[in-house]
Chain A
């Protein structure tokens, strides 16, 4: 077996590219429906939100499982999220507005949900740009402070979705609920709660492997 097939990162990348592959397949088979531009915009936006949620789930999952190694995959998930938001933005600029600067500026100022979405996109750029090892080392403590922006970005992303739907708020509210939960798990009592759940599970005999792993490392 080639060595890269044994690397989980390879498989994560494959999974992360599936939404794009689906869009391309639909594009060739006519599956994008009567309004393909809307379909592509919706889809890339949805996967950006999913990417944000999955990336934000890493830390709570790590605390819950005690599996410190999870953190190794966070950057990749974050960068794929950025990849989908770029596709989302390009769809808007190119397919939706067709590079009409006046229309885009008017749109960004006038349509509140575009304003919010655009802000979230702009804020993500420095995070993507500082994701290299060199930048992490160079920024030191400030790197973490900067990357806390992702909480605000995720909130803006959900608000962007909430404001664009005509009436049926079900889906944006689901994202809102998931995000609220992920953010609560970062508050001091959320961290304690995760620790408590973990201790209960460990003493009940579940999570044997990670418990031992944790013992060895700690």
Chain B
């Protein structure tokens, strides 16, 4: 009886990960020619790969989840175009490896994290959050990630760190939307330090138990569920700890329409449209928008005494 031993396969026969990925990309390219157009989905080098060792969490909203297809084909990611299907159409070949996230500013431990070390920084957990877009639609999304405070704790902010600034990759070769001057690139977002430390604030690397698709902000993005979607910066390359309130991309673009806080608030309308109701994607009737997107119990105390009409 012939029993094959593990060393029957010589190392030279094992496909290296680089070659594997190249082949995979090539085959995906061929697949796109054949069926991709019909499916409307571009190749994603890593999306679809199951993430291992995801923990359950207590932050799991018991509401019907928005289908994967809707989450990955209908969203805003202006780096890939201003249309809702542009990110899915244009982010397919976006390179998420190699990728480093720089931690800098008012911290004791600045440094660069490789994306693969970030993935191992803290246990990954699944959280089902509401997502409310400033445009008046919403979703329920099962994200995979870890709390941002895991990074902040390791970075050891100094006493001067009052705010955290997030910067998205600026690379117009890969991000065709950046060739248009619709926003002042790179995309910048920010949180107050206590908001960033809130247990709800999540660094996301996955969706539906799988690696985050490029169009949703791969390889790593922020998710702040009680704020309008645009606060949740995507494809982050830099996290800076600063003393002064950051000037975010949307505040720069239209200061009278988008404030620093941008908490979901049905009582404070956008200057051009009402925020009192929203359409949950997949539902026919509109539903009432909830204060802090329904996360008041966890976040309202941070804004006690603040005039939320003034600090919109």
Contacts and interface: CB of A to CB of B under 8 A. Distances in A.
A168 B82 contact: yes
Interface stretch (B7-15, B102-110, B272-280, B290-298): B272-280
Nearest to B273: A111
Nearest to A107: B274
A95 to B, nearest CB: 8
12 contacts: A33-B74, A34-B69, A34-B281, A35-B137, A35-B279, A95-B284, A98-B284, A98-B285, A103-B277, A111-B274, A163-B272, A167-B183
Contacts of A197: none
Contacts of B254: 167
A12 interface: no
Interface residues of B, number: 27
A116 to B, nearest CB: 11
A141 interface: no
Contacts of A167: 78, 82, 182-183, 253-254
Interface of A: 33-35, 37-38, 95-98, 103, 106-107, 110-113, 163-164, 166-168
Contacts of B198: none
Contacts of B273: 110-111, 113
Nearest to A97: B286
A113 B274 CA distance: 11
B285 A166 contact: no
A113 B279 CA distance: 19
B225 to A, nearest CB: 19
Interface in B21-44: none
A103 B273 CA distance: 12
A104 to B, nearest CB: 12
Contacts of A107: 274
6 shortest interchain CB distances as A-B pairs:
A34-B74, A34-B70, A168-B82, A111-B273, A168-B182, A34-B281
